[in-house]
Amino acid sequence: MRFEFRLPDIGEGVAEGEVVRWFVKEGDTIRSDDPLVSVLTDKANVEIPSPKTGRVVGIHAQVGEKVKVGGLLVTIETEEKPTPAVGGGPSAIPAPAVVPEPAPSPPTKPSNPSTSGTVLASPFVRRRAAELGIDLANVVGRGPNGRITDADLEAAREGPAEPTSSPMWPALSSPAVAPATVPPPFHPPTATEDVRERIPIRGIRRVIAEHMTESKHRAAHFTYVEEVDMSELVALRDRMAKHVEKQGVRLSYLPFIVKAVVAGLKAYPRLNATVDDARQELLVRSHYHIGIATAAPDGLLVPVVRDADRKSVVALAREIQELAERGRAGTLGRDELSGSTFTISSLGALGGVLATPILNYPEVAILGVHKIQRRPVYRADGSLAAADMMNLSLSLDHRVVDGFEGAQFIAKVKAYLEDPHQLFAELA
């Protein structure tokens, strides 16, 4: 018996999934509950097991292809017998019949995929088209397979250029001048020239690209930078690490930074917020769900530490470590990668000196944490001494947060990091 397996409903609000990896190929034998296919929804990979034991006789979606919920994924030949029709007996199952081949249809003119009934466009492009009042059915897609891109929307928005009958400004009389020599047009290398490797932008990398593009299009980014003397925190962390690491937990500076950020958000709650562009509202959040940008093999992930204000430094260290390990292994769930109210991006020792982080839209703030460097600094009393210095880069959505408020927030975070004992004296 042949069993057709279709993409199940794998999460609230999920309408489609992108095939990331097949664990089988046609002809393979598979058992029930063995890994069958990995599908990407939002930013989480979902591993779907086989519902049946049998032989794979048909794979109907390729890696990188999007399949809607209910769409056909795979056909499995099982040893199960088909259920006879009502009435029973051999006569209930018709003998195989020879079906004549249909007559070939006359050749048709190929059509653009974006105008032939199925519009290929990302969710961001669809939203932007709705905002601009553009009917995607009337837009010619110049992306892969006729996909409509943001550039296609801009072209449709501007419309075709029309020659004017007369110049806007009258020309001044001037003596005749010989026409200048027009240089030949520049022709970029063709697709086959100087290409070392073609890397498909799909899976998590594609989701990141769409999310970053949406953030830059919607939010008005600006970045504020401050330096912090981390000398006391470096000493405190070194003392605590000896005890914490006995519990199998690596104590980095990040848990302390999370605590300082939460303290800053409590003082300036408008930064612990998201923007609802559809309703033109700023949604100030009551919980402190901190996203931690984490490098993974397929791209950047942002696992979320929920209710960070209720957790100790050690508990934060343990959770951040576990989330990072599972992110690199690709086993984080969709709920662990969504719902953050503020994001921290840190590259640890590779953190560089300065950056302009892109907002994790629809959030209104993101903090970039840079490397700690020991260098000479002047103290308030005029003396020169060595100090462990670090820069913080705060990117904000200038539509809803002013520079002064951002500076006040960073000043509060800086105060807690430069005197980290405050983090333990503060009441929950």
Active-site residue list: 398
Beta-strand relationship, 342-346 and 290-296: parallel
Q: Is the peptide bond prior to 160 cis by the omega test (within 30 degrees of 0)?
A: no
Distance of alpha carbon 336 from alpha carbon 323, whole angstroms: 9
What number of CA atoms fall less than 13 Å from residue 193's CA on the CB side? 4
Amino acid sitting at position 278: A
User: What's the burial of 300, exposed, middle or buried (CB within 10 Å: 0-12/13-18/19+)?
Assistant: middle
Amino acid sitting at position 291: G
Please calculate the CA angle 209-210-214 and round it to the nearest 5 degrees: 115
Phi first, then psi, for residue 225 (nearest 5°) are: -120, 140
Are the beta carbons of 365 and 394 closer than 8 angstroms?
Answer: yes
Q: CA torsion 395→396→402→403, rounded to 10°?
A: 0
Q: Give which of 322, 313, 343 is closest to 251, Cα–Cα.
A: 313
Query: Residue 297 has which token pair?
Result: 């093999």
Please name every residue paired with 96 in a beta bridge, in sequence order, or none if there are none: none
Around Cβ 399, how many Cβ atoms within 10 Å? 14
Query: Residue 89 has which token pair?
Result: 């007996």
Residues 6+ apart with CB under 8 A from 174: none
